[in-house]
Amino acid sequence: MINKITEQQNPNSRDIDKKSIIDILHVINDEDQKVAISVKLAIPSIEKFVTKVISGFQNHGRLIYIGSGTSGRLGILDASECPPTYSVTPDLVQGIIAGGKDAVFRSIENAEDDEDAAIDQIKSMNINSNDSVLGITASSKAAFVMAAMKEAKKSGAFIGLLVCNKIEKPEFVDLLIEAPVGPEIITGSTRMKAGTATKLILNMITTTTMIKMNKTYGNLMVDLRAWNQKLWDRGTGIISLLCGLSQAESLNLLVKCDGEVKTAVVIYKLNISVESARRLLDENDGSLRKVIDPR
């Protein structure tokens, strides 16, 4: 008897090899639509985890994802997108994968059982009580992830566990996030529905956290720092939208502020110097809304 949902056979795809291409695609799509429902049911738990992450960030803590295989790669992907999108330091959100950097690009399946490597990795990171650690394992059985969470708990970190099964909460875990998406189209291939659910939840965690850390103004990523042509174009467009300026005027303003969108908006709206704008933003926890729209 297989008790892990992610390892059970999906009756809707039992004869999938007999189906036409279009029918296979419909089966996959039908199953994928169940993922969002599962994630929605997990929102109360996700909210509790986000609240702890925000509190930790406000006290100079970090968010650390730990996973193996697909779970580890998704954690690294989410972490790596935070600096260019929200101008945070690379160490604020980090991803750890069983097997190290090599495992990002190729499968190292036995790495998920290496508990000693997990413990060594955590010990090297100087985990503290302001850090939030999220273990990610579709089945809840990855030894690397479990050992890393146990070790992080010794340092007082807040420990969350994201699984795509229904399980009993381990005693060293503070918060369990369950998104049981059901059996995969290809039995045990958790890069599919479980991977999609994980990606959705990690997006929710970092996006909501960054919004509450004043990294946006409405739905605009105003805390971006222009480093390449795409970001210069995006930053210019945001300034143009918020300030009613032409593209050329907005670009000149952005250049004057060394690519800092929030600073550019403040100096235009309040007619103050770059230094004064930066100081005002610092005094208001980086909130553009508090500075230009304090009502």
- The residues carrying an active-site annotation are 81, 112
| β-pair partners for 83 | none
Residue 277 and residue 267 in contact, taking contact as beta carbons nearer than 8 Å: yes
Q: Which of 64, 73, 100, 71 minimizes the C-alpha distance to 6?
A: 71
As a whole number of angstroms, the distance between CA 33 and CA 50 comes to: 25
- Please say whether the beta carbons of 265 and 243 come within 8 A: yes
Torsion angle of C-alpha atoms 217, 45, 204, 79, degrees rounded to 10 = 110
Instruction: Say if CB 224 and CB 84 are below 8 A apart.
Output: yes
Token digits of residue 119: 């413990």
Calculate the CA dihedral of residues 111, 112, 114, 119 and round it to 10 degrees. Answer: 120
H or E, element range at 247: helix 247-256
**Cβ neighbour number for residue 271 with a 10 Å cutoff:** 8
Residue whose entry in the numeric block shows the structure tokens 């999108």: 85
Is the separation of the CB atoms in 198 and 71 below 8 Å? yes
